Structure 1
Amino acid sequence: MLVRQSQINNTRKVMRMVYRKSTWVICLSLAIAVTTLTGCEATKSSNSKANSQSGEATTASLDYVNEIDKNKIMTFAITVDQAKWKEMLDNAADEEYISADVTINGTTIKNVGIRPKGNSSLSSIVRDGDTDRYSFKIKFDEYVEGQTWQGLDKIVLNNNFSDATSLKEYLSYDMMSYIGVDAPLYSFADISLNGQKWGFYLAVEDMDSSYLERTHDDEGELYKPESAMGGGGQFPGGAKDGQESSPPKEAATSGTTEVAAATAPDKTQQTQQTQNPAQAMPDRKNGGGMKGMANNGVSLQYTDDKITSYSAIFDNAETKTDQADQQRLIEALKNLSEGKDLETTVDVDAVLRYFAANAVVVNLDNYVSNMGHNYYLYENEGQLSILPWDYNLAFGGFQSGSASNVVNFPIDTPVSGVSLEERPLLGKLLEVPEYQEKYHAYLQEIMNGYFADGKFEQTVDRLSTMISDYVKNDPTAFYDYDKFQAAIVELKELGALRAKSIQGQLDGTIPSTTEAQKADSSKLIDASTVDMQALGTQGGGKEGAGGKGGPGGGGFPDMSGLDQDVMQQAMQIIQDAGGNITDEVKTKLTALGLTEEQMTQFSQMRNGGRPNISK
């Protein structure tokens, strides 16, 4: 039952690839006969605009699909000049590629590009003197034009930051795939560097030209909208890759997702709020309370017809787009805002599947929160869809508060720090009774097929057994083996209680909206026995990386002693100064009560890990 929907999807995709291969064979035969490839060219996909320097990814067999096997553990052996590797790590915030050879599952690809990647995880590790366990991106054609690994142009190696279970992102993609979302391929990965063990990661197919070929016949446009808050270390207007940041617009006002706990405070609630004060940092009554939280298009709200009003979308295009593509997307956003021609404007079925799975795993570090990032927007002939990315903070790892809030997260208002009106790709669909009913049906399908009769616990047990020895022998792990084992216990309990709450919300015995839960919290599930801290903190796990004594909050500095208003004022002062802590800025921040250490951390966060403070 767990593989029913994914089997259907895989069969459909394989049939598409077989059809395309057959078409090419027939076409080439005709070409030989008539000594021209004119007829063959007509059979190519109408969209060849993906950011690849070669067409190899669109004509190759995409054999990598069989290599990224979620039921096996991949091997990555990286061979690189040690001095260049050290230099890259020492300057990780620059995210610059260096050349390396990599052997994947026994196949060697020479002269590939590899670099660190990440937002809050990267900036947190930059600040941490005890670990170099970055996530990495491998680009196979960075130095060799047209080079791929069995048809794949890029792959990502995620470091399981903030996840003591090593399973959160895997399970999230697995659930997405189960319900029929075109999630990226994923597999556990054992990595070595120059013959020495490096770490146990999660390998994820990058969302680029190969992904489009595999899932969408290489048609349509792909974007990765990024809010000012989401880039450059998760700070408003953060610059990245040497680009100058632009002044952000005012954020819109919003609703709230805070709900009262059904019983006494959870055993971890107070410690979470103390260790991770940044979780409560955004003013959830006022859209985050800071400029730039979700502007320039990340909310997918229509503002006007100007292309520049949607820079967060168009500046982060994964395919080569032109003005016609951009205007077509803006028109789709306008139709969405008006609730007009929704079946034409939105791939309703695909979008509802995505939001159903996202609500189940309670991932708030994406489109549904005031962060407004960590998702891909797919557009084809004016129709919009949303795709999943970056789920290491799923299962309540971000902005969720207590375990009771996670377990009872409302399925009919599944947003954080924003209102449904401010997230029209979800809000406009849930306004339509037919679509809300279909959304509920997908939630029920996940409950029946992924959770009922102990299925979730069995899946967690199977996966934890599969990776247990790798976690135990991981020399760079953020969490030791004992913490991994403890986290698995908490994850199973959290999943079981979450499923119980969702089923109650679907049945009508538990309130399913924020306001209804506020009005009557007596029916909510008691989750006070779940230790959310054991699942992993937002800072990573090691001391100095957000664990004991380190800055928590997913890359936010330690703001002990600062109230929310002061934090917002401080961030705005630094933002207005372009991230430069001049003597004048220092004076203002000192007057607010910031310490020198907090100023340094704010500056690092604003500048992608590099402080910019006048001496």
Structure 2
Amino acid sequence: MMEKENIPVYNLFINPKSLMELKKDIWANKSVTGKINIHNKKHDIDVIYRGFYVRELKKKSYHIHFYKPSTWEGAKELHLNAEYKDHSFIRNKLSFDFFSSIGVMTPSAEHVFLVLNGKKEGVYLQLESVDEYYFQKRGIPVHSIFYAVDGDANFSLMSEYDNAPKKSLGMGYEIKYGKDEECSILEEFIFKTNTLLREEFEQEIGNYIDVEKYLLWLAGAVCTQNYDGFVQNYALCRNGEAGLFEILPWDYDGTWGRDVHGEIMEYDFVRIDGFNTLSARMLDVPSFRNLYYKNLLQILNSQFTVDFMKPRIQELHTTLRPFVLKDPYKKDYIEQFDMEPEFICKSITDRNNYLRSELKKRGFS
């Protein structure tokens, strides 16, 4: 057991034969049984590798499903992200905290130290699953939850991959929760997004999606430069008393100056208006566009600043450092870990200056 624990230690147990089954075919979406000890309480679970390209990495990420007890702290599932390509370990967590600060609903996230069958696996980010339990915990009614799993979740009539008409307007999405008719509501929303005239769009699109919340999410994605996040890596949820769609961010490790492979992302890589068909339609309406630019300027003055973010960056770095030194996959990269806070702060400065210059061209300063 580690001394002076500042982050929880999770002990995961998987029968060696079951673990061999997982390793034999990392792409098989077949779970195995296991147990996990959290805060000195044991839980029976199903476990599977999670993610796409990250499954090929040495340090695996895991998707945990509780079945005895059936929930843990009100959650049915949780995700343990290895954050292997992010030498800072904090980009996902930092992104979700930033989104929360600007008024966007996000999954909760906290760092843990994972031990698998007695072997240290290192620092992980525990992510809350966006499902019906997520909304139950917050007392919010939810009608449907869709995961944007690939680039066809672009709100377009056309496929992202072959520029041909989609065979179904639900392409790019997997339904996580909701009745069958919810798929028809999603398809109707996407169809209206593409076919309404500008004046009709301004008047009617608010019957399907919370426009103000969407524009806040867009501002957050533009600030952090999550390139994939405009057409995938989000949850689209129809919730609340009004039953409007709302986007929740997901998988934001390729942010704050680095892409998903950990390479440098230039400060002007993502344009100020982002992209996807819904964003283009929104920003084609003067009233929506003005609201977006005003929101973005406010964020650039308040939350997306070094003054606001640096204390959070430093606190996370200080807390994690002793545990990174015990991470068998990352301890040899401690020098880069120590350089990342300064790198992230510089990326904020450069991105902030770029977005301000773009706003000034549009008459906002």
Distance 1:208 1:147, change over 3 A: same
Distance 1:196 1:400 in 2: 26
Cα displacement string for residues 486-507 of structure 1 (whole angstroms, at most 9, x for unaligned residues): 2333222112221222233333
Q: Per-residue CA shift, 1:579-610, capped at 9, x if unaligned? A: xxxxxxxxxxxxxxxxxxxxxxxxxxxxxxxx
**Cα offset, 1:466, TM superposition:** 1.3
Give the equivalent residue in structure 1 for 2:188. 331
Maintained 8 Å contact 1:223/1:319: yes
- Partners in 2 of 1:365 and 1:453 — Cα distance? 24
The aligned counterpart of 2:219 is 356
Q: Which has a greater percent of strand?
A: 2
Task: Kindly state the Cα deviation for residue 159 of structure 1 after the two structures are TM-superposed.
Answer: 0.8
8 Å CA contact 1:504–1:510 kept in 2: the answer is: no
Residue 18 of structure 2 aligns with an amino acid whose one-letter code is K
Aligned-residue offset at 1:209 = 1.8
The 8 Å contact of residues 144 and 238 in structure 2, kept in 1 or not, is answered as: yes
Matched, 1:172 2:95: yes
Q: For the structure 1 residues 486 and 177, does the alpha-carbon distance in structure 2 shift closer, same or farther, using more than 3 Å as the test?
A: same
What is the aligned partner in structure 2 of residue 117 from structure 1?
Answer: 50
Counterpart selection for 2:253 from 365, 374, 392: 392
Please list every run of 5 or more consecutive structure 1 residues that lacks an aligned counterpart in the other structure: 1-71, 126-130, 231-249, 253-286, 297-307, 416-422, 513-615
- How far apart are the structure 1 equivalents of 2:281 and 2:355? 22
Distance 1:91 1:154 in 2: 22
- The equivalent position to 1:497 in structure 2, one of 321, 342, 350, is 350
| Equivalent of residue 11 in structure 2, options 66, 77, 82 | 77
- Residue in 1 that maps onto 2:42: 108
Over 3 Å counting, the alpha-carbon distance change for 1:358 and 1:397 in structure 2 is same
Shift of 1:511: 11
Question: For 1:155, which of 78, 102, 110 is the aligned residue?
Answer: 78
Question: Does the 8 Å CA contact 1:347/1:385 hold for their aligned counterparts?
Answer: yes
| Partner AA of 1:310 in structure 2 | L
Trace 1:77-226 onto structure 2 (pairs within 5 A). 77-109=11-43, 111-122=44-55, 124-125=56-57, 131=58, 133-141=59-67, 144=68, 147-215=70-138, 217-226=140-149
1:343 aligns with 2:343: no
Contact 2:258 2:265 in 1 (8 A): no
The offset of 1:479, in angstroms, is 6.3
Extract unaligned runs of 5+ from structure 2.
1-5
Length-normalised TM-score, structure 2:
0.85
Task: Say which SS state the counterpart of residue 134 (structure 1) adopts.
Answer: coil
Change (3 A) 1:351 1:451: closer
Check conservation: 1:329, 1:382, Cα contact below 8 A. no
Deviation at 1:78, TM superposition (A): 0.9
**Aligned 1:403-442 pairs, distance under 5 A:** 405-407=266-268, 409-411=270-272, 413-415=273-275, 423-442=276-295
* Matched residue SS, 2:22: helix
Say which of 254, 276, 291 aligns to 2:162.
291
Q: How far apart are the structure 2 equivalents of 1:387 and 1:452?
A: 22
Q: Deviations over 1:264-288 (max 9, x none)?
A: xxxxxxxxxxxxxxxxxxxxxxx6x
* CA 1:399–1:157: 2 relative to 1, 3 Å: closer
Residues 403-435 of structure 1 show CA distances to partners (whole Å, capped at 9, x for unaligned) of 684246431x323xxxxxxx2321222122222
Query: Structure 1 residue 184: deviation in Å?
Result: 0.4
C-alpha distance after superposition, 1:227-266 (max 9, x if no partner): 3789xxxxxxxxxxxxxxxxxxx956xxxxxxxxxxxxxx
Q: Secondary structure at the match of 2:229?
A: coil
CA RMSD, 1 decimal: 3.1
For 1:570, the equivalent position in structure 2 comes to none
Match of 2:335 in 1: 482
The share of aligned pairs that are identical, in percent, is 21
Q: Note the C-alpha offset of 1:375.
A: 1.3
How far apart in 1 are the matches of 2:146 and 2:28? Answer: 22
Q: With the length of structure 1 as denominator, give the TM-score of the two structures.
A: 0.52
Structure 1 residue aligned with 2:233, among 355, 371, 374? 374
Q: Within 2, Cα distance between the matches of 1:94 and 1:312?
A: 22
| Alpha carbons of structure 1 residues 214 and 152: separation in structure 2 relative to 1, 3 Å | same
Q: Which amino acid aligns with 2:72?
A: W
SS in structure 2 of the partner of residue 95 of structure 1: coil
- Alignment check: 8 A CA contact 1:364 1:399 kept: no
Q: Secondary structure at the match of 2:111?
A: strand
Alignment-derived partner of residue 563 in structure 1: none
Are 1:408 and 1:502, in contact at CA under 8 Å, matched by a contact in 2?
no
CA distance in 1, matches of 2:283, 2:40: 48
How many residues are paired up? 350
Q: 1:479 to 1:430 in 2, by over 3 A?
A: farther
Are the counterparts in 1 of residues 303 and 309 from structure 2 also a CA contact under 8 Å? yes
The residue type equivalent to 1:78 in the other structure is: L
Instruction: Please say which of residues 174-183 and 376-385 is displaced more in the overlay.
Output: 376-385
Change (3 A) 1:379 1:471: same
Q: Cα–Cα, structure 1 residues 115 and 408, in superposed 2: closer, same or farther, change >3 Å?
A: closer
Q: Which has the larger radius of gyration?
A: 1
Q: Answer whether contact 1:407 1:494 (CA < 8 A) is retained.
A: no
The residue type paired with residue 207 of structure 2 is T
Question: Structure 1's 475 and 312: CA in aligned 2 closer, same or farther, altered over 3 A?
Answer: same
Partner Cα separation in structure 2 for residue 136 and residue 188 of structure 1: 14
SS in 2 for 1:92: coil
User: Hey, what's the Cα distance between the residues in 2 that align with 1:175 and 1:162?
Assistant: 21
Which residue of the partner structure matches residue 535 of structure 1?
none
